[in-house]
Amino acid sequence: MVNPSIVIPNRRMFLGTAAAAVAAGMLPSQGRADESAVGEGQLHAAPFRFDVTPPMGHSLCGGWIKPVVGVDDPLEAIGFVLLGSGKPIVICSVDWTGLLNEAHVEWRAALAEAAGTTIDRVAVHCVHQHNAPFACLEAENIVLAQGDLPHIVELDYFRRCLDSGRSAVAAAMKAVKPVTHIAHGESKVEKVAGNRRILGPEGKVISQRGSSSKDPKHHEFPEGLIDPMLKTVAFYHNDEKLIACHYYACHPMSYYGDGRVSSDFCGLARKQLQMSEPGCTHLYFNGCGGNIGAGKYNDGSPEMRPVLTQRILDGMVSAAAGLRPEKIASLKWASVDILPPTDPRYSEEEIMKGINDHSQSVVNRNRPSFVVSWIRRHRKNIPITLSSLHVNNVSLLHLPSETFVEYQLAAQQTASDRFVACAAYGDGGPWYIPTAKAYPQGGYEVSVAWCDARIDEILTGGINSLLKSAT
C-alpha cells in the first residue's frame, strides 16, 4: 500500500470528483496551468542523478525473465528542478522498465517533497529497458500473497531508491545554476525504428515484429508508420549548455532476458554523450513508442547493441548541431488529469482465479497482477496526470504508458507552429495505449491494453488541452 500520508492529500488535490466526471474519463482538475514572466536572473536549474541499479537476484521486467545475475552497466535516474517560475518543476527519467499506479505516485511525491513543490508539477518517465525493474506496488502485494511467485519489485530496494532520490534532489537544490536560454534541434535516426504491427490485406495484425527478429520477412517489410526524428531540447546559462533532453520513439531493447542489467542501446548512447560533455546533464526520454521497435534492423545478437547505440548517438550529435540558443521569454507549466475506464473484458475475480492457479506458468500469474492493479487503482479514483512544459515556442509533453506513435505525430501536427517533444512511459498503469483504430486490428499490444478504445478520445482530449495551454 502507498503511504497514506502521501496519497490522501494528493487524492484530495487531484480529485474532488463527481461521478459523472469520472465516467467521462476527464477529471474536474483538468486544465491546471501556471504562467510566469521570466525576469532577468530569475530562472535557475538544479540537475540531479542517482543510482537505481537493482541488487543481485532482483526480479527483472516484472519477474517473468531471468533475475539479476550481473550488471553490465548501472541504471540511473536523472533529472532537474526548475526554479523561479512559480512553484518548482521537476522532470526525471529513470532507467527502469516501468513505474505503475501507486509506485509512480510515490516517486513523484518523493521528488516533490524534496524540491518543495506539489506532485502535479513533477513528471517522471521510464526509458523502458527490459533488463531492469518493473515497479507496481499493488502487483507486488498480489504476488507476495501467493507465496510461490517471484517479486515484482522488492519493497526495501524501492524505498532505498526513493530515499536516494530525495537526497539527490536536496543536494542539487544547494547548487543551482542560472538558466537564461533554450534551444531545440532534431535529426533523423537511420535504421533503428520500425512499426511492430504488420497488417495483412484484411486490415488485421498478422505478425508482431518486436524489438528484435531473426525472421528475414520481418526485415523485408517497410518501416511502416514511425517518427524518425530524434529531438533535443537544451537549457543554457548564456552560451553554457547545462541540460539536454533527448526524445526518440522506439522500444529501447537490443536483447534481454539473460539477467545482465543494462541501460541498453539508448542508455548507452546517452552515457557516451555524457562522457563527451561532462558539464551538461543529459537525459533520454522514450517517446510514444508503444508500437515501435528495432526488429526490422535488429536480429537480437549481442553484436547489434553497439551498432544501435552508435545510430542513436549519431542522432543525438546531429540534433545537437542544430541547437541555436535563444533567450527565455516565457515559461508555462500545465497539467490535466484523466481516468480512462477499464476494458469490461477484464474481471478481477476471474483474473485472480488464474493467479491463484499454481499449475500456471509464472508469466501467466505474475503478468495478470498488473491488470488487477489497474482495476483496483481505477476503483480508488487515482487519476493519471498529463503535464507539459512550454518555454518560448517549445512544448515538452509528458504522457503515460506505452502510448502509440500516432499520438505523438498528432500532437506535433496539432501544434505545428511549435517544437513538440513527447515523453511517454510516465504512469504505466494502463500498460499499452493503442489508438481506437488499432483495437479491431488485434495484435499483442491490444491484448495487453487494460483500457478500452475510449482511451483514445480521452487521451487525445488531454493532449489537446495541454497544447492549447501554450497560447
d(C-alpha 302, C-alpha 22), whole Å: 47
- Count the domains in the chain: 1
Q: Which three cell numbers stand for residue 335?
A: 497539467
Tell whether the model's pLDDT for residue 299 goes beyond 80: yes
pLDDT mean over 214-229: 96
CB 195: neighbour CB atoms within 10 A?
A: 20
Strand ranges across the sheet with 181-188 = 281-286, 240-248, 229-237, 181-188, 326-327
Q: For residue 383, give the DSSP letter.
A: P
Compute CA distances 168 → 165, 176, 285, 389, whole Å: 5, 13, 20, 22
d(C-alpha 466, C-alpha 327), whole Å: 23
Count CA within 13 A, CB hemisphere, residue 107.
Answer: 30
Q: Which three cell numbers stand for residue 143?
A: 504476488
pLDDT value at residue 25: 41
d(C-alpha 289, C-alpha 291), whole Å: 5
pLDDT mean over 134-149: 97
Write out the DSSP string of 294-346. Answer: STTT----TTHHHHHHHHHHHHHHHHHHT---EE--EEEEEEEEE-PPBPTT-
CA geometry: angle 37, 39, 40, nearest 5 deg: 160
Strand partners, 432: 402
d(C-alpha 325, C-alpha 238), whole Å: 8
Domain that residue 277 falls in: 4-468
Q: Could you identify the residue written with the cell 500500500?
A: 1
pLDDT value at residue 22: 34
| Contact criterion met (CB below 8 Å) for 450 and 342 | yes
Q: Which three cell numbers stand for residue 378?
A: 481505477
Confidence of residue 393 (pLDDT cuts 50, 70, 90): very high
d(C-alpha 401, C-alpha 4), whole Å: 24
Model confidence pTM above 0.95: no
Tell whether the model's pLDDT for residue 18 goes beyond 60: no
d(C-alpha 101, C-alpha 366), whole Å: 16
Tell whether the model's pLDDT for residue 14 goes beyond 70: no
Q: Which three cell numbers stand for residue 104?
A: 509512480
Confidence of residue 38 (pLDDT cuts 50, 70, 90): low
d(C-alpha 82, C-alpha 168), whole Å: 15
Confidence of residue 17 (pLDDT cuts 50, 70, 90): very low
pLDDT mean over 113-135: 98
pLDDT in tens, 55-101: 999 999 999 999 999 999 999 999 999 999 999 999 999 999 999 99
For residues 27-48, b (16+ Cβ closer than 10 Å) or e, as one string? bebbebbbeeebeeebbbbbbb
pLDDT value at residue 450: 98
pLDDT in tens, 332-375: 999 999 999 999 999 999 999 999 999 999 999 999 999 999 99
% of the chain exceeding 70 in pLDDT? 91
Tell whether the model's pLDDT for residue 121 goes beyond 60: yes
pLDDT mean over 293-309: 98
Mean pLDDT of the chain: 92
